[in-house]
Structure 1
Amino acid sequence: MSKKVRVLLYYKYVPIENAEAYAAEHLAFCQSIGLKGRILIAKEGINGTVSGDYETTQKYMDWVHSDERFADLWFKVDEDNQEPFKKMFVRHKKEIVHLGLENVDDEDVNPLELTGDYLSPKQFKEALLDENTIVLDTRNDYEYDLGHFRGAVKPDIRNFRELPQWVRDNKEKFMDKRVVVYCTGGVRCEKFSGWMVREGFKDVGQLHGGITTYSKDEEVKGELWDGAMYVFDERIAVPINHVDPTVIARDHFDNEPCERYVNCGNPFCNKQIFVSEENEAIYLRGCSPECRSHAKNRYVAENGLTQKEWADRLAAIGESLPQAGA
């Protein structure tokens, strides 16, 4: 039996001087112990997901905690049977969370100075059941489609950067109500809830530690979550509800329950779709006829299909390759 892989999810808003140099130092240490994952470092803090065996991840946590800036950093620890990362990346960025406030002519938010009230998993569950509280999902649309809290509002946006403008456009709907926000691990909500407070919302809360912490809480056990949680690594979908789990996502082609996310085979489309392995083979991972017959279709290239095999696959579903010169 293969050894369990530990996955560490974490962040901390803390001033980091010479963030670019620290990112290089951080990468060197991670590579020296064989850690894998993705870390963002900026002058406002650090945000990462990394993985390795028990010894490797323990070395990393001890090293991070030995720095007084991160002595109290909260690592959320999970286990998996597969390695969720192929390489180790440490990037120096302008910010660890990009809220897109330049799009609404606003200044960035410092969560160390302004953020929403922290809610424990139990308090958050109570908020979900309170009809006078609005629970707002702050994640990207494809994250919501895979899974979300029951009754949570899905903003009409594609990504997190569009959220401030959407809130301003819909302010009258919940300006005078209690608003509670949530995200994967908490890093986005720290900044966004602070922005909402600055916008004048009187009662703003956030799920402390995010969905990840809610799932592992012994009291709530992930209850009232529908579907799976999207994660930005090879796992894609992670179970959350340990009481009455459900599958809410549907296969792009036959509408059957499916939590397998892939990118469309056409690199110029790249739309994320739910699809079973069987339907992926039938439809060549293309979300549309145009993508299935696109000259750069990645499924065709990855599987080494000949022109005839490609044409035969399309013919089986009533489609064809474009004529030369068309």
Structure 2
Amino acid sequence: MQRTYLTTAMYYFVSLPHFKTLREPLLNFCISKNIKGTLLLADEGINGTVAGSEKSTIELLDYLKTDPLFEGHFKNLSHKESWSDKHPFYRMKVKLKKEIVTLGVPGVSPTKVVGKYVKPQDWNKIISDPEVVLIDTRNDYEYAIGSFRNAINPKTNSFREFPEYVRTHFDLKKYKKVAMFCTGGIRCEKASSFMMSEGFDEVYHLEGGILKYLEEVKPDESLWQGECFVFDQRVAIKHGLEVGDYDQCYACRYPLSHDDMKSDKYTPGISCPHCFNTHTPEKLKSLTERQRQVILAKKRGEEHIGKKLV
């Protein structure tokens, strides 16, 4: 793959009471460097994924870590990198949020209490312990294309549903050891905080998430099965952070296998086997028009940037 655009995923839990004042200067800096993607700011920290040239991306990280504007809050900010030959994002956004990852339980934050961080190299030992219950904290469609061996799928459609799943299915007296993971580490880190607040005292989470595991653990030693869904134009990745084999339905955002795309229920940009016959007439009309514009843009050699439909 041509090393043209450097994609950087980052998050950091830290008390950030003045986060609202950071939005505009951070957005302006990214735009000036032709960096695109999305960054979220909240009083509990920062989260996001952006991409740009290698030089610009390094400058952004340095800006976050050293500029007086951020008062040293991000000096220990870590990130994960991958490369693509096309820009994986269309716009740059900096959004202000109540949470940098939405759990929806007031007072829960890793800045207050958090589980035990587990390095990728130590993860196999933890999850091979028969007393450890392994939970995938991601959404159902993410689990569908890959997960760790023997991981429980909570079958959630959003992270906000995770607390209710735990309260319904997990008895403190029965489950003594719990291990959790997610794509980049942010959801399982916050989930560990929630579990601790619920009374679980031996809680582990994968530091750096699946992305760090796939980057550092050799395939022949791996307990990962399938591919890992990512929230950008790559759709999914494999070991070594190589781009995977899945595409995506741009009507429902579900990851699509080669077999899905051979289905008579698949129409690019309009429907797939997962959303066929579920769209309202208005939504179907909008999807059809958007796909028409995508085709016209491709003929002109351009990228179509339309309204977000889902």
TM-score (norm 1): 0.77
Supply the distance in 1 between the matched residues of 2:278 and 2:157 (Cα, whole angstroms).
21
1:69 is paired with a residue whose SS is coil
Partner of 2:49: 49
Supply the distance in 2 between the matched residues of 1:38 and 1:221 (Cα, whole angstroms).
34
Give the conservation status (yes or no) of the 8 Å contact 2:2–2:84: no
Q: Deviations over 1:31-66 (max 9, x none)?
A: 111111110001111001111111111111111111
Partner of 1:272: 254
Q: 2:75 aligns with which of 71, 75, 82?
A: 71
Supply the distance in 2 between the matched residues of 1:13 and 1:149 (Cα, whole angstroms).
25
Which amino acid in structure 2 is aligned with residue 156 of structure 1?
K
Per-residue deviation at 1:190?
1.8
1:57 is paired with a residue whose SS is helix
1:161 is paired with a residue whose SS is helix
Partner of 1:109: 108
Q: Which has the higher contact order (CA 8 A, sep 6+)?
A: 2
Per-residue deviation at 1:110?
2.2
> Structure 1 stretches of 5 or more lacking a match?
102-106, 248-257, 265-269, 306-326
> Structure 2 stretches of 5 or more lacking a match?
294-310
The 3 A distance-change label for structure 1 pair 137 and 87 is: same
TM-score (norm 2): 0.81
Identity %: 32
2:51 is paired with a residue whose SS is strand
2:277 is paired with a residue whose SS is helix
Partner of 1:310: none
Give the conservation status (yes or no) of the 8 Å contact 2:10–2:47: yes
Q: 2:100 aligns with which of 79, 96, 103?
A: 96
The 3 A distance-change label for structure 1 pair 58 and 174 is: farther
Give the conservation status (yes or no) of the 8 Å contact 2:147–2:224: yes
The 3 A distance-change label for structure 1 pair 142 and 218 is: closer
Which amino acid in structure 2 is aligned with residue 113 of structure 1?
K
Q: 2:247 aligns with which of 260, 281, 294?
A: 260
The 3 A distance-change label for structure 1 pair 302 and 69 is: closer
Partner of 1:301: 289
Per-residue deviation at 1:5?
1.6
The 3 A distance-change label for structure 1 pair 279 and 224 is: same
Give the conservation status (yes or no) of the 8 Å contact 1:222–1:240: no
The 3 A distance-change label for structure 1 pair 175 and 163 is: farther
Give the conservation status (yes or no) of the 8 Å contact 1:125–1:220: no
Partner of 1:312: none
Supply the distance in 2 between the matched residues of 1:114 and 1:28 (Cα, whole angstroms).
34
Which amino acid in structure 2 is aligned with residue 15 of structure 1?
S
Partner of 1:28: 28
Supply the distance in 1 between the matched residues of 2:172 and 2:250 (Cα, whole angstroms).
35
- Correspondences of 1:129-208 after superposition (within 5 Å): 129-172=128-171, 175-208=174-207
The 3 A distance-change label for structure 1 pair 200 and 291 is: closer
Q: Deviations over 1:247-282 (max 9, x none)?
A: 9xxxxxxxxxx7222144xxxxx3625254853786
The 3 A distance-change label for structure 1 pair 176 and 89 is: same
The 3 A distance-change label for structure 1 pair 278 and 116 is: closer
Q: Deviations over 1:224-243 (max 9, x none)?
A: 1111111111111111378x
Q: How many residues get paired?
A: 282
Partner of 1:8: 8
The 3 A distance-change label for structure 1 pair 112 and 271 is: closer
Supply the distance in 1 between the matched residues of 2:30 and 2:253 (Cα, whole angstroms).
32
RMSD, aligned CA: 2.8
